[in-house]
Structure 1
């Protein structure tokens, strides 16, 4: 399955039992809710997926399980976030063996690689897998920016196809389009800039709050795509206080609380993360409760 870099692709949370094991039953419940809403792909093992706490075998189990659940309806991607080039290559090859159809790749972790090192890292992985790659460009959180000049070199690898654009600079969408046209597909990666990025030409949305609100997220995408901007804006304005839960150091706990509220998740996180408590918890619950009270009636967005 070739990947069409478009639409909404949830960066799904990883579900855990109270005994800190993978909760594949609740995970399947959430994945099916995403599919029923009409998402265009599934992204595993990102920040929201608590990737840094997962063992290699858990990542592989999640990949294989998700591939079975989606049954070729949409592509399954897994995040590669490694400290060494060697391990990144191995992760890519394991993902391919387990049935993933694409990779989301971060620059090297921990070590702040320079531009030459970062380009070589991505190219080495690309040259050792047949899977299509989406480069995750998030200098705000990870300290390394993949510049347009670096993409000039990276795009010599045919399977580097897309960027998860998380620089927080909306004009970067236009810069990428001006320089690369359709050669580099753009998936916006910041929930609070999603509609703005789509309207500026981004091809799709790697989303966070979609984990709890899949139908609303897909509706925004489909409405704007159909030119129904006013209708998309109405939902997006309702959604924004919830979307802001994604741009927070406790985004995993925030979004898992939202999943509980919408009946498609649990609050369990893996240590060192802990569930929210006290005033912080009450503040997040208040935002979620207000969102649910004012939840919009959606149009039949699937028929647009």
Structure 2
């Protein structure tokens, strides 16, 4: 198993499809290699950006097996868990461990608005069912469940619960978490449009979206922030921001797949009910991507290779 310390850049990777909407494993391999070449610290499979809602459980495990083959121990491979019942979640975690996953990202129950006690019990049952390290996904904006500090205190009683994907969009929460838990909890920023601020406030890394299309730029931004080169980081961030805003739209999958297609490391196809972009929207997103490419900074200007 690859070393997993919950620090650095973890792409929530795309799931490329071919024109028949089957998983395009050749393109998946190409994107994965681009991520590894840029220096990412791990990948997360079948997350929101990976179209978890459009994948069967069988496909998720097949994706895990293929990813493990491609990665071959170079970086950790983390599988997202989005099951609706505790029984299914426990079985999913156990199978992921058996197949060789290095860790899990776990969402609260998706189709039932559980209360705090139920959410904690759900996460604890998963943690107690396998030895895989767990990243708790805290995203009350999109998934209605807020995991507060007291809930997190209970969750940290489980040694395998080690990190949180912080997607509350409240930057103050990073400081609250640091003040309460210190080094007991690793924090990964989960919102692209506040990724630099998250790092500057002490986040240990990022679960990133636009990294799927721009791995080198994302790594440069991370390396500059970690090196305290904030002036250069802000300059790069300002170029990046129009693209990063694609991550916070309901059509983030169509948008980011299109950006990655421009880079030659994805296909644009999404499974229904997501439909292809058309008309004014398609033209607008294409222009945004093309404008960014036209103004693309030379990473050598940011000493990317030496940081």
The interval holding the TM-score normalised by the smaller chain is over 0.9
SS at match of 1:127: helix
Q: Check the 8 A contact 2:3/2:75 in 1, yes or no.
A: no
2:300 paired with 1:301: no
Instruction: Report which stretch shifted further, 263-272 or 136-145.
Output: 263-272
Residues 1-45 of structure 1, C-alpha deviations (whole Å, 9 max, x = no match)? 341111111000101111111100011000000001100000000
Q: Check the 8 A contact 1:38/1:302 in 2, yes or no.
A: no
Q: Check the 8 A contact 1:7/1:204 in 2, yes or no.
A: yes
Aligned to 1:131: 132
Aligned to 2:285: 284
Instruction: Report which stretch shifted further, 112-121 or 70-79.
Output: 70-79
Measured after TM superposition, the shift of residue 99 of structure 1 is 1.4
Measured after TM superposition, the shift of residue 95 of structure 1 is 1.1
* Pairing 1:1-304 to 2, within 5 Å after superposition: 1-299=2-300, 300-304=303-307
SS at match of 1:136: strand
Measured after TM superposition, the shift of residue 161 of structure 1 is 0.1
Instruction: Report which stretch shifted further, 1-10 or 109-118.
Output: 1-10
SS at match of 1:182: helix
- TM-score when normalising by structure 2: 0.98
Q: Check the 8 A contact 2:190/2:206 in 1, yes or no.
A: yes
Q: Check the 8 A contact 1:26/1:264 in 2, yes or no.
A: yes
Q: Check the 8 A contact 1:9/1:206 in 2, yes or no.
A: yes
Cα distance in structure 1, aligned partners of 2:94 and 2:240: 38
Measured after TM superposition, the shift of residue 238 of structure 1 is 0.2
Cα distance in structure 2, aligned partners of 1:5 and 1:231: 25
Residues 126-161 of structure 1, C-alpha deviations (whole Å, 9 max, x = no match)? 000100000000000000000000011000000000
Cα distance in structure 2, aligned partners of 1:138 and 1:60: 24
SS at match of 2:80: strand
What are structure 2's unaligned runs of at least 5 residues?
A: none
Q: Check the 8 A contact 1:222/1:302 in 2, yes or no.
A: no
SS at match of 1:9: strand
Q: Check the 8 A contact 2:105/2:136 in 1, yes or no.
A: yes
Residues 70-115 of structure 1, C-alpha deviations (whole Å, 9 max, x = no match)? 1111100010011100111111111111211000000001100000
Q: Check the 8 A contact 2:260/2:267 in 1, yes or no.
A: yes
Residues 281-304 of structure 1, C-alpha deviations (whole Å, 9 max, x = no match)? 111111101100001111342432
- TM-score when normalising by structure 1: 0.99
Q: Which runs of 4+ in 1 moved over 3 A?
A: none
What are structure 1's unaligned runs of at least 5 residues?
A: none
Cα distance in structure 2, aligned partners of 1:48 and 1:92: 20
Aligned length: 304
